[in-house]
A and B are shown apart, each in its own frame.
Chain A
Amino acid sequence: MVKNPVLLVLVVAALAAAIVLSFLSHAPNRLLSGQPVPWGVVLEGWRSLAFAPALVLLAGPFLPNGRITHGLVALAASALIAGMIWLAGDVARSMADAAAPAARTSFGGAFWILAVMAALAASDALQKLTREPALRIGLALLLAVPAVFLVADGFIDALSIMKEYANRHAVFAAAVTTHLAIIAAMLVPTLAIGLPLGLLVHRRQGLGRPIFAVLNIIQTVPSIALFGLLIAPLAALVAFAPALARLGISGIGVTPAIIALTLYSLLPIVRSTAAGLAAVPTAAIEAARGIGMTRGQIFRAVEVPLALPVLVAGLRVTVVQAVGLTAVAALIGAGGLGAIIFQGLNASAIDLVMLGVVPLVGIAVLADLALKLAGAMLKARTG
């Protein structure tokens, strides 16, 4: 009877969330906690059609397994997310009252959980549709287009999170830029130190243990502690050599952030460089030597291309980790999306927190997908 138990569990969880939690909440202003908007108001009249794709998902667990069912489920999940975004925007617009300009309508718990369940249903369907990782990632991005279009085109501008955005879009753009710039800046010393260190570990086996022991201990230190530990020495250094201050180096801000991020990033980069080089088959190196290639040629033409997919996997771990750590670096004045999150937490302004969290997660997920795609393509090329 039940053909797809996974989808059934997702549907049941979504229904439970819809019953217990609210889809939207409405508050007199941005700092007060909102009252749930009743489902009767949300689903008034023909608006409820936005939930039509949910019927496919409700039927999905009982449909015969096959390409058509999986395709339908993936499309319905995408349509449901877009429909819910449109619906939330429409309800928020209709609840807006010129007499109470400070009133806010926010996404409720049910919206987020329904969206996550729909995304998981789509991911499950895509996994059943194709085993090709590159194709799966491409289809997933395609399915996200309607939702992104609705947000970008202003359909939900009446919602509180977009009002927070409108109030500080200059600050928001600067925060995103700073966040990305810190990660890019961190990659320069990370690769400059990590790649040679990984090569060294590969060539001199005895050095592996002590190097990994040190990098492992660094990785263990909580981020907030490492950021904190760098402040005093850097401040002392700048006091000792004031010329450094003119270069923009100081005990708080971007300098300690980049140093700490580099220290954290060395472990995955060194480990994946060494592992990638170690995984190169000896037969491939022997064959290259057999046709008369020099050591340098073998390194460039055989070892590096074959080690690259493993290195990219390490880079993925590094970048995803750095996206989150950079948010913590806002505590030492590095700016970025963390600054928006902590500002929201301090003011108890939930939607301001979300304005920082949603793009933070988005950047992490996109970086993860992009580097996964790069890894899959490299692997396909070296086959």
Chain B
Amino acid sequence: MRRIDPLIPAAIALVALVLGMPALKPLFAWMFPDQARPLYEQDSFLSLTLDHLSLVGISSAVSVVVGVAVAIFVTRPSGRAFRPLAETLTAAGQTFPPIAVLAIAVPLLGFGPLPALIALALYGLLPVTEATVAGIEQVPAGVREAARGIGMSPTGILARVELPLAAPVIVAGIRTSVIINIGTAAIASTVGVKTLGLPIIVGLSGFNTAYVLQGALVVGLLAAVVDLAFDRLGGFLGRWNRDRVAKTA
């Protein structure tokens, strides 16, 4: 018997929870009998989820573009001098708690989605850069030599040898970055950004555990689904690379 991929039931559960939360009102009313309002209804969970996803999506896109570009630059001969600086920045930057980055961005740039977006993009840069450098570095020197031997240009080697071979490691870095961003975006509700963290924050400040539970369930499930999807993508890229190598061999 073929086992069902856990990604499928998790994704179905997420969609059902996001769209069908109002239907669970009687359940929450039963679980929290003292609560006059057992369901978070100020915003629909669909709009919160979409806001959350667009904040994470835009910031992660910026992180990936800039992070991969920086990593490519510091692994070229012309940028090699900057490699230790990039390594110091990514290592030191990751000791900064995400909450600290968020808390600094707000007073400097003001409340609202833009400072949160910048904070998330900056913080998300670090794992992407680190992983891309590691991925390009682990390409065997012999493979690079062989590509040069058959007359490939440096750009050709980068685009057709280094980046494809580094892809599974780069995707692992993007996965870390996106997962951290999903969590930090939830905390961004404390600085007035509408995300899935909002029901949790509203629930915590208003002693409404039902709200907290609803927000936590949706955002936790969302993170798990995204993580599983990245896991599949990483596995797919690994197989794709092996197939390519097998074909050329």
Listed in ascending order, the chain A residues whose CB lies under 8 Å from chain B are 4-6, 9-10, 109, 120, 123-124, 127, 216-217, 220-226, 228-229, 231-232, 235, 251, 320, 323-325, 327-328, 331-332, 338, 341-342, 344-345, 348, 350, 353-354, 356-357, 360-361, 364-365, 368
B163-186 interface (Cβ within 8 A of A): 179, 182-183, 186
Q: Which of B16-24, B125-133, B154-162, B197-205 touches A?
A: B197-205
Q: Which residues of B contact A331 (CB under 8 A)?
A: 190, 201, 204
Q: Which of B41-49, B207-215, B237-245 touches A?
A: B207-215
Interface centre among A9, A221, A320, A344 (most CB of B within 10 A): A221
Tell whether B149 is near chain A: CB-to-CB under 8 Å: no
Q: Which residues of A contact B106 (CB under 8 A)?
A: 345, 353
Chain B residues touching A, majority SS: helix
- B100 touching A360, Cβ below 8 Å: yes
A220 to B230, CA, bound (A): 12
- A350 touching B217, Cβ below 8 Å: no
Q: Which residues of A contact B92 (CB under 8 A)?
A: 123, 365
- A228 touching B84, Cβ below 8 Å: no
A325 to B184, CA, bound (A): 11
Interface centre among A9, A225, A364 (most CB of B within 10 A): A225
- B88 touching A123, Cβ below 8 Å: yes
A224 to B215, CA, bound (A): 10
- A5 touching B82, Cβ below 8 Å: yes
- B88 touching A127, Cβ below 8 Å: yes
- B100 touching A221, Cβ below 8 Å: no
- A341 touching B209, Cβ below 8 Å: no
A217 to B106, CA, bound (A): 30
Listed in ascending order, the chain B residues whose CB lies under 8 Å from chain A are 31, 81-82, 84-85, 88-89, 92, 94-100, 103-104, 106-108, 111, 179, 182-183, 186-187, 190-191, 197, 200-201, 203-204, 209, 212-213, 215-217, 219-220, 223-224, 227
A353 to B103, CA, bound (A): 7
- A364 touching B197, Cβ below 8 Å: no
A327 to B103, CA, bound (A): 11
A314–chain B nearest beta-carbon distance, Å: 15
Q: Which residues of B contact A5 (CB under 8 A)?
A: 81-82
* Known interface pairs A5-B81, A6-B82, A231-B212; A225-B97 also in contact (CB < 8 Å): no
* Known interface pairs A231-B209, A357-B104; A225-B215 also in contact (CB < 8 Å): yes
- A323 touching B97, Cβ below 8 Å: yes
- B100 touching A124, Cβ below 8 Å: no
- Picked from B85, B97, B220, B227, the residue with its CB within 8 Å of the CB of A361 is B97
A338 to B111, CA, bound (A): 18
A158 to B156, CA, bound (A): 59
- B97 touching A327, Cβ below 8 Å: yes
A10 to B85, CA, bound (A): 10
- Picked from A127, A223, A232, A325, the residue with its CB within 8 Å of the CB of B213 is A232
- A225 touching B186, Cβ below 8 Å: yes
B229–chain A nearest beta-carbon distance, Å: 11
Q: Which residues of B contact A341 (CB under 8 A)?
A: 99-100, 103
A341 to B81, CA, bound (A): 38
- A221 touching B220, Cβ below 8 Å: yes
B142–chain A nearest beta-carbon distance, Å: 25
Q: Which residues of A contact B191 (CB under 8 A)?
A: 345
* Known interface pairs A124-B84, A220-B224, A328-B187; A338-B99 also in contact (CB < 8 Å): yes
A251 to B208, CA, bound (A): 12
- B227 touching A360, Cβ below 8 Å: no
Q: Which residues of B contact A120 (CB under 8 A)?
A: 85, 88-89
Name B203's closest neighbour in chain A (CB-CB). Answer: A228
A331 to B186, CA, bound (A): 12
* Known interface pairs A120-B85, A120-B89, A231-B212; A332-B223 also in contact (CB < 8 Å): no
Q: Which residues of B contact A360 (CB under 8 A)?
A: 97, 99-100
A127 to B84, CA, bound (A): 8
- B100 touching A224, Cβ below 8 Å: no
* Known interface pairs A225-B200, A320-B95, A365-B95; A353-B107 also in contact (CB < 8 Å): yes
A79 to B215, CA, bound (A): 49
Q: Which residues of B contact A365 (CB under 8 A)?
A: 92, 95
Q: Which residues of B contact A338 (CB under 8 A)?
A: 99
User: Other than the known A10-B85, A222-B223, what 6 A-B pairs have Cβ atoms closer than 8 Å?
Assistant: A109-B108, A222-B182, A222-B197, A231-B213, A325-B97, A353-B106
- A364 touching B103, Cβ below 8 Å: no
A32–chain B nearest beta-carbon distance, Å: 13
Q: Which residues of B contact A228 (CB under 8 A)?
A: 200, 203-204, 212-213, 215-216
Q: Which residues of B contact A325 (CB under 8 A)?
A: 97
Interface centre among A235, A344, A345, A356 (most CB of B within 10 A): A345
A277–chain B nearest beta-carbon distance, Å: 23
Name 7 interchain pairs, CB-CB below 8 A, sorted by A: A10-B85, A223-B187, A224-B201, A226-B216, A228-B204, A231-B209, A232-B213
Q: Which residues of A contact B209 (CB under 8 A)?
A: 231-232, 235, 251
B51–chain A nearest beta-carbon distance, Å: 15
Q: Which residues of A contact B94 (CB under 8 A)?
A: 320
